[in-house]
Structure 1
């Protein structure tokens, strides 16, 4: 394996790749640049109702395709991951791209329709839970089943999976995305913060299960990354005082999608494989201010 293409021969599923400004797109481009075949999940209808609007999916595909290395493949599928029934088919399609699935990046997220605790309803909470947390757990379960040995006897719920340890190298990588709810309040985002906190909170528990199969799970907090929601023409929040605040931060800028993407790319290689079951903050020091 060429050192500059450490993911040659690997295949990845990245969810939430609907916009070229997004983190999912940056992750897909990064993994492709490292040699991986990439399967994109997208749900364009979500963005059509957001201030930043929907992107051209053909342009999204072309952008990722331009970074593929010789022999690597690209596939994609649209699905609303709020519908749990779509998840097994998505994982099957991603696996069918190359006959293997080595990397899962759960980047999908629901934006909007949130509020303060006074605005909370069962419907608001359920909507964010379904997309942000439940879908990531179910995607991970399907991914794990691809790597689990066949059992002669049915497992009882909660019974530990017997893998084939020891493993000379990871048998797969899973990445979840959390947010900054553990660093401070996320005002007006109770449902979103709740769903993201669930993933951070259960990371160690699921990582221990997956490690029996040789699968490495880590959760990434990308910090404030401008994916369009902090641009004047497409902001989803007031921007007064933003420039003044940026001037007080260590690097004087918000994160770029490439910042968390490069971290995920590195963690997916052999060099990053000794890091397991962690919630990692990649925010340029924002949380230290």
Structure 2
């Protein structure tokens, strides 16, 4: 790969599993020459059906090259409203500044209308939506506008393209990220900072059971799910100088996903 991100510093949240999207993004940014602070919160994965990475945080960091001059790590629970600013502050302490924020983290939640609780709605809002706003706020507060390449990249899901009735807390909180994108972009446009959101579509990160894998695969023209590397290529392009003219967009990168086929 090239070194188009040399001299830039990125924060990537949600880097807790080697087969995850956050890991692929961090690895590509490192390959492109960036210095990267990765964030994780392994207890969330541990309580999910797919579980935490079997090698633990140490194994994830080792596969990224190990902590050192170009890679740092911080664990933080974004249910805590002070955690987003603390993550950005840690990156500034480590590297002096932050040029790129990739808010890839997410709390997954499977609750339909008969099951949904106020507590789960609040937690998904806090982790997925509120933390994305507060990370952007903290990023903007430390950003030196004389530096080129100010980028914020958020993540939504496909809730704006088709219903997600079995995952209401998750879908609603991700919908908030979709809706905040244009307003955050406008708030930062005069400072030369772009804000865009990615909907990566179905990505194989080990969470789907065999039946869902088969059904979704049937609706993807390429005959396969997306890979974390597919997402990483788009994110790293949005973080690059080549994407400087794009802001306020929600980009659907789904490989032609035909939901009506499922």
Match of 1:45 in 2: 43
Q: Which runs of 5+ in 2 are unaligned?
A: none
What SS does the aligned partner of 1:267 have? Answer: helix
Q: Deviations over 1:90-118 (max 9, x none)?
A: 11111122211100010111113x31122
2:53 matched to 1:57? Answer: no
- How many angstroms apart in 2 are the aligned matches of 1:193 and 1:244? 20
Rg: which structure is higher?
1
Secondary structure of 1:119's counterpart equals coil
Match of 1:28 in 2: 26
Q: TM-score under structure 1 normalisation?
A: 0.84
Is the Cα–Cα contact under 8 Å of residues 16 and 23 in structure 2 kept in the other structure?
Answer: yes
The aligned runs of 1:1-289 (5 Å cut-off) are: 4-55=2-53, 56-65=56-65, 73-112=70-109, 114-147=110-143, 170-230=148-208, 235=209, 239-240=210-211, 242-243=213-214, 245-287=216-258
- C-alpha separation in 1, matches of 2:47 and 2:259: 34
SS in 2 for 1:101: coil
CA distance in 1, matches of 2:219, 2:12: 34
**SS in structure 1 of the partner of residue 196 of structure 2:** strand
3-state SS of 2:95 partner: coil
What is the alpha-carbon root mean square deviation over aligned residues?
Answer: 2.1
Contact 2:149-2:240 at 8 Å conserved across structures: no
Offset at residue 255 of structure 1 (A) = 0.7
Give the superposition deviation at 1:130: 0.4
Give the match for residue 159 of structure 1. Answer: none
Give the distance between the partners of 1:115 and 1:46, measured in 2 at CA.
16
Task: Describe the shift of the 1:73–1:240 C-alpha distance in structure 2 as closer, same or farther (beyond 3 A).
Answer: closer
In 2, Cα distance between the equivalents of 1:60 and 1:110? 19
Partner SS, residue 286 of structure 1: coil
Q: How much does 1:72 deviate?
A: 5.5
The separation in 1 between residues aligned to 2:148 and 2:253, in whole angstroms, is 23
Contact kept? 1:9, 1:36, Cα under 8 Å: yes
Q: C-alpha displacement at 1:87, in angstroms?
A: 2.1
Distance change in 2, residues 1:244/1:181 (3 Å): closer
From the superposition, tell whether residues 145 and 248 of structure 1 become closer, same or farther in structure 2 (CA, over 3 Å). Answer: closer
Report the Cα distance in structure 2 between the residues aligned to 1:86 and 1:285, rounded to whole angstroms.
Answer: 36
Provide the rounded CA distance (Å) in 2 between the counterparts of 1:241 and 1:96.
43
Compute the displacement of 1:249 (Å).
2.4
5+ long unaligned stretches in structure 1: 149-163
